[in-house]
């Protein structure tokens, strides 16, 4: 079994929900797993690959609980537009241009971006997912993949996404898991959702779905069905299996009670909410109910970057200001959400914490920029001063995939060449051709 020794780093670990920062530790990785975290040794054993990490902080690989990774192809294509125009005049027409190969190169670019930002596991919700799975396999990361499907595409297309689940479950040496991914209760009707619930139960997988993103969506759902979006999901049986609810900014108190105690997690991407003027979730209430919360990048046309450091910081900052109380979401809670919360949402309990026995997804952060010095409060420094560009080294599933600013599994030049060659065609917009219609 291959051995990797990270020497003389600081380590962020959790005891229960509480973050602890350990000084001067060695992390021993054997095969896919962390086998020990020990006081730093004077000498490295001979049979290990050694990473010298003095001055660096080791944190768990970050978990992106909701993304549309290939959308990096359209990064910043639609600034300064509200929800309706964003869907109907920017995204849904642009996405009509995508070929499977485009999706692949978008996924490759997004993987390169995420690895460099310390993200080792992503719940990705998009189309042509075989091509995304290939990119994940190549990148050496971990992913929970769902092939997005709209109700109007019909049950034949749902079958296609089921076959994807079956084809890729447990592939890439176990790094890939697959779920179903009906788009949303506003673009899938209750019968369609009920079918997704039954198929997920049969397959032993979860559903990954958008829900209650805006006040307008809730109003539309009440008008159409006399129920909130979360009630629609509950009545369709979606909450009987594991589920990732993307965004869910506007649940009612009853909705939160429906979610509490289920295998339901909520993905939070505040950069999207700010950019698209969607408002903000009342997260302390979700936490009170014991609902799992994780951070998410969403797609790069709303969030502009696939960066969970930024989402972590924005989660803390925006919640304080929303509550008009700086004591809301203290640093300990924010770190628990960012690291362990992500693992809860994607239902992978062996991730999100650096401890012996867990899977070895480890990120090393430099702390030597002036902006990160001096280090007075390690938790606050990690949340408010360090950022994605402080990532030095990334290990996923026990394998080194990024070091010193260099990708070890991906060829950036080739990716840029492929993406930029496709761009002129991808940006041609014909409003009469779009993949779906966002309801007013």
Contact set with a copy of itself (CB under 8 A)? 72-77, 79-83, 86, 109-110, 112-113, 116-117, 271, 273-280, 304-307, 314, 317-318, 320-321, 323-328, 330-331, 369-371, 373-377, 379-381, 383-385, 387-390, 412, 415-416, 419-420, 423, 427
Q: Which is nearer to a copy of itself, 247 or 271 (CB)?
A: 271
Minimal distance in Å, beta carbon 168 to a copy of itself? Answer: 24
Minimal distance in Å, beta carbon 65 to a copy of itself? Answer: 19
Minimal distance in Å, beta carbon 5 to a copy of itself? Answer: 27
Q: Which is nearer to a copy of itself, 156 or 404 (CB)?
A: 404
Q: Which is nearer to a copy of itself, 47 or 413 (CB)?
A: 413
Q: Which is nearer to a copy of itself, 117 or 232 (CB)?
A: 117
Minimal distance in Å, beta carbon 180 to a copy of itself? Answer: 29
For 310, how many CA atoms within 13 A lie in the half-sphere containing its CB?
Answer: 16
Q: Which is nearer to a copy of itself, 159 or 368 (CB)?
A: 368
Using alpha carbons, list the distances in angstroms from residue 241 to 37, 171, 205, 235, 267: 35, 22, 7, 13, 17
Using alpha carbons, list the distances in angstroms from residue 112 to 190, 336, 412, 413, 430: 37, 25, 7, 11, 30
The alpha-helical segments, DSSP class H, found in 226-364 are: 229-235, 253-259, 270-275, 283-288, 308-323, 331-335, 342-345
The alpha-helical segments, DSSP class H, found in 20-146 are: 83-85, 92-95, 100-116, 129-139
CB 228 within 8 A of CB 273: no
Consecutive H or E run containing 15 = strand 3-15
Minimal distance in Å, beta carbon 307 to a copy of itself? Answer: 7
Q: Which is nearer to a copy of itself, 47 or 80 (CB)?
A: 80
Consecutive H or E run containing 216 = helix 215-225
Distance CA 193, CA 151 (A): 8
Distance CA 119, CA 111 (A): 9
For 257, how many CA atoms within 13 A lie in the half-sphere containing its CB?
Answer: 3
Q: Which is nearer to a copy of itself, 156 or 424 (CB)?
A: 424
Minimal distance in Å, beta carbon 193 to a copy of itself? Answer: 29
Minimal distance in Å, beta carbon 251 to a copy of itself? Answer: 19
CB 406: neighbour CB atoms within 10 A?
A: 9
């Amino acid at each position: 079994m291959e051995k990797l020794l990270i020497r003389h780093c600081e380590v962020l670990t959790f005891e229960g929900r509480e973050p602890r920062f350990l000084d001067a530790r060695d992390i021993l990785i054997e095969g896919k797993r962390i086998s020990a975290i020990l006081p730093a040794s004077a000498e490295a054993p001979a049979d290990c690959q050694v990473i010298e990490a003095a001055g660096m902080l080791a944190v768990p690989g970050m978990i992106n609980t909701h993304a549309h990774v290939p959308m990096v192809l359209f990064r910043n294509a639609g600034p300064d537009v509200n929800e309706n125009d964003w869907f109907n005049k920017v995204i849904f027409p642009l996405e009509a241009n995508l070929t499977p190969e485009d999706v692949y190169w978008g996924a490759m670019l997004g993987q390169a971006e995420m690895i460099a930002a310390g993200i080792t596991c992503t719940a990705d919700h998009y189309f042509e997912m075989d091509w995304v799975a290939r990119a994940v396999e190549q990148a050496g990361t971990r992913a929970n993949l769902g092939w997005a499907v709209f109700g109007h595409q019909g049950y034949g297309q749902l079958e296609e996404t089921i076959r994807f689940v079956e084809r890729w479950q447990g592939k890439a040496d176990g790094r890939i898991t697959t779920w179903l991914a009906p788009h949303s209760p506003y673009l899938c009707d209750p019968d369609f959702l009920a079918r997704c619930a039954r198929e997920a139960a049969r397959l032993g997988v979860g559903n990954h779905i958008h829900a209650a993103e805006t006040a307008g969506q809730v109003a539309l759902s009440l008008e159409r069905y006399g129920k909130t979006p979360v009630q629609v999901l509950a009545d369709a049986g979606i909450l009987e299996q594991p589920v990732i609810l993307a965004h869910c900014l506007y649940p009612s108190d009853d909705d939160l009670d429906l979610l509490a105690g289920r295998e339901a997690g909520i993905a939070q991407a505040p950069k999207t909410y700010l950019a698209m003027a969607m408002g903000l979730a009342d997260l302390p209430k979700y936490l009170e109910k014991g609902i799992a919360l994780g951070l998410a990048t969403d797609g790069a046309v709303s969030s502009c970057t696939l960066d969970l450091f930024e989402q972590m910081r924005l989660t803390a900052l925006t919640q304080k200001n929303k509550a008009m109380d700086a004591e809301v979401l203290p640093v300990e809670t924010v770190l628990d959400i960012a690291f362990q919360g992500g693992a809860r949402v994607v239902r992978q309990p062996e991730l999100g914490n650096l401890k012996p026995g867990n899977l070895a997804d480890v990120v090393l952060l430099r702390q030597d920029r002036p902006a990160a010095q001096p280090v007075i409060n390690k938790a606050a420094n990690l949340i408010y001063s360090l950022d994605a560009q402080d990532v030095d080294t990334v290990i996923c599933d026990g394998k080194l995939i990024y070091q010193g600013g260099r990708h070890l599994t991906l060829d950036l030049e080739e990716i840029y060449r492929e993406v930029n060659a496709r761009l002129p065609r991808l940006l041609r917009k014909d409003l009469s051709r779009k993949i779906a219609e966002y309801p007013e």
